[in-house]
Chain A
């Protein structure tokens, strides 16, 4: 490959790195120092505004929030151990679930045993739905709720240092309610030419300020989840305040396909008490929509087409995922399970700041010591390895930002260790060059042979380390994962920096400056 082409590749890689890293620099260093009239001192506080309060903000603020969200998504995020916050790992309470299942199946132990694992997973998914639905109530800008190994639920709430709220949120089960849509008001809104879509108001700010709704009705947001499971406001309904029926009336709900019309539907069965209430409700309100509300958030509002006795079908323009989700929501009320806290970590803001300082300090001192050592020991070549090391760290950070990885304290340790190990590839090459120099007259020749012979060693050595690093990143703990991921990427960028970049610098120095050799 010609030198120009290699320079070209390096340049492209560097530009890509800059592009990938810009949001991170922007988020942590530029935005906090930007002062804009009318915005909070740290604009990032704007993200604390809840989804269903956005309509009350000016267009300018809304645009800014959109921009901040975009930037945050692309920026390298800090782990809880650095940013401070609450981490909770919870699991569906097995005893509680078993008790509920036994009740339902008339204490048939064998039947419960046979379905227990399946029901456990389903209960976990329901609990996840309920928690995600409550995400915005946790009062933090970017909560993360995930399912981890062994059907556990991990909840991360950066910036929160009082766990009581989250403990409460975990102890409460989902509150499922059925409320009628105020069709008269919705009709009025439609006549007032407020933009609507499938019967709901798209933007609440489109509603004229003098538009009054009846006292026994209220605005309620219609929510949907994005691909990451994060709920967002899709539109608005005006609902009657009266709760017609609650989740305990539902006995079971399952997603299904519609035999006649095609498409996806949800079948549901009611309890005996539920049957009576529902029959009366549906009988009197044919043509009206019935909103399914979970923890104060509208999940769906199907139309009542006929009187329903005992069991019914919800049809609509659903995707399969939507039917699965709605079936789970309906069941959340009927089979409320308690969550058991398995692990809880609270990292106060000062502790997080101390960790950043300590990790940064260890990294900087370690890196400086390594660089000084390399320059003393290898002179000119030591400086080249310093350049390679710097680029190595840039590649690594860009990699991490690209993969949306989270930087944790062990992750910083991983980067620091990468520094120590990264120069290893340089050492292998340099020692090999020195050996060749003892044999050969020409430096250029020694350089060629040195790289040639070192290549397979570097690949073998790094690939075996990579095996260990991958294993670390698959370990089910956040901290170790962070460490393993940084180590893995460190090794990959290390191979590139050592075999490609340093060689390029050597060649460039020798060809451009007509050097006979580089001190090594």
Chain B
């Protein structure tokens, strides 16, 4: 692969990345599968050691109050102590710089929270730090029934989207591509969930939105490669399939990288400047874009190829003869 130095054509200079030699993406597939497997296995271990996903109040039910306390003594420790007296499942974090004294108080509970809880938090804090020092910037209350409904809908939604995409890809390409695309997508979702566990991010609606966005992004990335495979396969139907795939991934590599760069730039901007509401959303997007880029190269096509090969052997379809003949000639 030549780098960014200009490649001289006949009479015009063409800049950019161009893959001249064959890169053996598919040969690496078992390494790639192992790497993905390892990360996901790490996620499963983390799942059991950390006690599962931490859900946000959107799903669990609970209350959240954001307030600014303009008092010298207001800090995380004193607030935590004070709230623990009343609610076992309470959590206090700061938003923005510490000096701004912006606190986010969250209480969750199996039996759910009510509007009384919010009023009680407000009055307890006011009692301690003086009512004149307190500005309640916002609050959220989610009843337990509501949370359940959200979680169920989110799960159904992911499955429906996956099914629709599978159907679309199977229709436009064939079933194996559809399977490859879906596995790549689930791979990305699993990686993102793993990072949720590792980074101790609570799963709330924003995270679901990030998961679904990456679902779309990853599919987009994968389809661009598949499209190239289909095109190249149509041009040279007798070519060794592994070679066609390697070539197609190589040809779309520059696009894959550039798109992930531009999307990453935005995701990073959202994570850094998007404020407290969008921070975790941005972080999940960054992880998802990286994973999506990786999976479109090392998961989607390799899975499709592996499946095709497996079924080739079983039902003796495809171009086994051609493959043998062509093996070694190319590269």
Residues of A within 8 A of B (CB): 81, 89, 91, 149-150, 163, 167, 340-348, 350-351, 354-355, 357-359, 361-363, 365-367, 369-370, 373-374, 377, 409-410, 413, 416-417, 419-421, 423-424, 427-428, 431, 434-435, 437-439, 441, 443, 453, 456-457, 460-469, 471-472, 474-477, 479-480, 483-484, 487, 517, 520
> Among residues 126 to 168 in chain B, which have CB atoms less than 8 Å away from a CB atom of chain A?
135-143, 145-146, 149-150, 153-154, 157, 160-161, 164-165, 168
Q: How far is the CA of A351 from the CA of B140 in the complex (A)?
A: 13
- B84 contacts the other chain (CB 8 A): no
B-side contacts of A367, CB under 8 Å: 266
Known: A343-B141, A420-B263. A355 touches B275 (CB 8 A): yes
> Among residues 242 to 262 in chain B, which have CB atoms less than 8 Å away from a CB atom of chain A?
251-252, 254-255, 258-259, 261-262
Q: Are B137 and A350 in contact (CB under 8 A)?
A: yes
What is the distance, in angstroms, from A379's C-beta to the closest C-beta of chain B? 8
| Other 13 A-B pairs with CB < 8 A, given A351-B138, A420-B267 | A341-B114, A342-B143, A346-B139, A355-B277, A366-B266, A410-B209, A460-B224, A462-B220, A464-B169, A464-B216, A468-B212, A471-B160, A480-B209
Q: Are A362 and B12 in contact (CB under 8 A)?
A: no
- List the 7 closest A-B pairs by CB distance, nearest first: A358-B275, A468-B216, A366-B269, A420-B266, A366-B266, A420-B263, A344-B141
Interface of A is mostly: helix
B-side contacts of A439, CB under 8 Å: 9
Q: How far is the CA of A317 from the CA of B160 in the complex (A)?
A: 48
Known: A355-B277, A373-B262, A421-B220. A479 touches B227 (CB 8 A): no
12 contacts across the A-B interface (CB closer than 8 A): A343-B142, A358-B277, A365-B273, A373-B262, A374-B262, A410-B209, A417-B266, A434-B16, A460-B223, A471-B157, A471-B161, A517-B12
Which residue of chain B lies nearest to A87 when distances are taken between CB atoms in the complex? B140
Q: Are A361 and B11 in contact (CB under 8 A)?
A: no
Task: Count A/B pairs, Cβ under 8 Å.
Answer: 236
Q: Are B219 and A472 in contact (CB under 8 A)?
A: no
Q: Are A427 and B259 in contact (CB under 8 A)?
A: yes
Question: Contacting A483 at CB < 8 Å: which of B141, B209, B221, B252?
Answer: B209
B-side contacts of A369, CB under 8 Å: 265-266, 269
Q: How far is the CA of A21 from the CA of B263 in the complex (A)?
A: 27
Q: How far is the CA of A419 from the CA of B15 in the complex (A)?
A: 24
B-side contacts of A167, CB under 8 Å: 115
Question: Contacting A472 at CB < 8 Å: which of B12, B150, B209, B267?
Answer: B209
Question: Contacting A416 at CB < 8 Å: which of B137, B216, B251, B269?
Answer: B269
A-side contacts of B303, CB under 8 Å: none
A-side contacts of B224, CB under 8 Å: 428, 457, 460-461
Q: Are B217 and A421 in contact (CB under 8 A)?
A: yes
Interface size of B as a range:
35 or more
Q: How far is the CA of A443 from the CA of B142 in the complex (A)?
A: 59
Q: How far is the CA of A421 from the CA of B261 in the complex (A)?
A: 10
Q: How far is the CA of A358 from the CA of B279 in the complex (A)?
A: 10
- B123 contacts the other chain (CB 8 A): no
Known: A350-B135, A428-B255. A345 touches B140 (CB 8 A): yes
What is the distance, in angstroms, from B181's C-beta to the closest C-beta of chain A? 8
What is the distance, in angstroms, from A313's C-beta to the closest C-beta of chain B? 41
Q: Are A465 and B255 in contact (CB under 8 A)?
A: no
Q: Are A358 and B278 in contact (CB under 8 A)?
A: yes
Q: Are A89 and B269 in contact (CB under 8 A)?
A: no
Q: Are A346 and B138 in contact (CB under 8 A)?
A: yes
Which residue of chain A lies nearest to B276 when distances are taken between CB atoms in the complex? A358
Q: How far is the CA of A89 from the CA of B261 in the complex (A)?
A: 40
Question: Contacting B66 at CB < 8 Å: which of A351, A370, A443, A520?
Answer: A351
A-side contacts of B14, CB under 8 Å: 434, 437-438
B-side contacts of A359, CB under 8 Å: 274-275, 278
